[in-house]
Structure 1
Amino acid sequence: METKLRFAQQIVLKAGRWLREHMNQQVEITEKADFKDLVTNFDQSIQDQLSQDILQAYPLDAILGEESQEHISISKGCVWVLDPIDGTTNFIAQQTDFCILLAYFEQGVGQFALLYNVMADQLIWGGGEFPVFLNDWPLLGYQKGELKRSLLGLNAGLFASNAFGLARLANHCLGTRSYGSAGISFAYVLEGRLVAHASYLYPWDYAVAAILGPKLGYELLSLENGKPRFEGREYVLFLPSLLKDEITGYLDEWNYQ
């Protein structure tokens, strides 16, 4: 497994370098569901690069990617879950605060994950049987603190609608932050900058958190089903296990174990 992890590090870092080197080239933007749901030629290029590298090295493996035509299950075989540019809107409008997400599963069990903040050149990697590192530095596990002295990752839409009581939770925190990228927000939770992060995500957005989090005392919950289904889009909450009861106590009808 270590060989596969090292391979994954190499191809993700290579893809990130390619992105930085080509940032000044023309960005071709296509709308998907609506004008805020965007994909660029760079998203497709990175997914193609990573997919080709993976399948060349491991031809019997499968890939579940955001830009894939076929959305396969992670429950059977060896599956790589890929988001080529998480934070596409940030990439288009700001050229920062976006990342590459790659997670690896065998028979539905997460083996390792990589979260690469491209412009900061910061790679969080590990999970499964591996400790979690930020580049070459091991990340510490969750250091318990008070909600009233902590920041919550939450976007304006979820706060305004008070979905699942998330605005109530936010009002017991020091404040909220929205970065426009699930990966960036998950990284800030793992680094201790945010106490938790809630959003409405697809499996390729949250798979890395599901694998990296448990090694550092965090877990990923579905606000609809208890545990994420890895099928379609769902509301998820990434939080410290030590604060699970306190945090979920502010949410509506929380009865999932």
Structure 2
Amino acid sequence: MGSRLPDLSLIAAPMVNQSDLPFRILTRAHGATLAYTQMLLPDRLLADQPYRESHQRGLGAPHDRPVVVQLAGNDPDTLVRAARTLLGYCDAVDLNLGCPQDAAREGHYGAYLLPQHDWPLAQNIVSALAHALPVPVSTKLRLCHPAPHTLALAHRLEAAGAAWLTLHARYPSARRRRHAAADLDQVRALKFGPERAGAGDGGGGGVRIPVVSNGNVRTWADVVANKAQTGADGIMVGEALLANPW
């Protein structure tokens, strides 16, 4: 298992068709301490050489470190083999448990592994990656139904070997991904437990690993307010960076 964590203070989120090398460099120039690749599919990394080479291109360059490779899938062995094709190019590997798109539903990955019957699978994937890779393994997820169950899943992911967790505190929705404000009390519940967060019952105390908050950030003032409300170890910013990376 990898143990050295990157600086989680200010993170550029993984965004499909956006988080490529030039964009990651741009966000670093304006203060991002860490950047993610876009979500990558393990089957294509293993079987599609042009796809693999296009996403390897630029990874590992000194001006693009530290960088997290994000993968999305549902087979532990396939994910491990895909991750190994990118070792040496990255500083951590992230499992996507938050993508709400139709393709994720059809492929049964991303946020469609959040229902409780799939928790053992999600836990097995994180465990397989954490034991097989020499870099830290993290997980980015959305809220479970009901929201307090998210903390219970977080404890399972922590036990499986996740080095940190990023919570986009909205429910998955393929059509209305941001139709309401993120529930930042749920991020605080991951960090401190529900009693201190006022986020409802269940799940016990907070996790012991770092927690990153994603959601409700469009300005620097939002970063400050989010961190104050959640107590998170870091803040991740997504689509707001596309319009204003500085």
Q: TM-score range by the shorter chain?
A: under 0.3
> What TM-score do you get using the length of structure 2 for normalisation?
0.27
- Higher-Rg structure is 1
TM-score (norm 1): 0.26
**Which of the pair is proportionally richer in helix?**
2
Q: Which has the higher contact order (CA 8 A, sep 6+)?
A: 2
Whichever structure has more strand as a proportion of its residues is 1
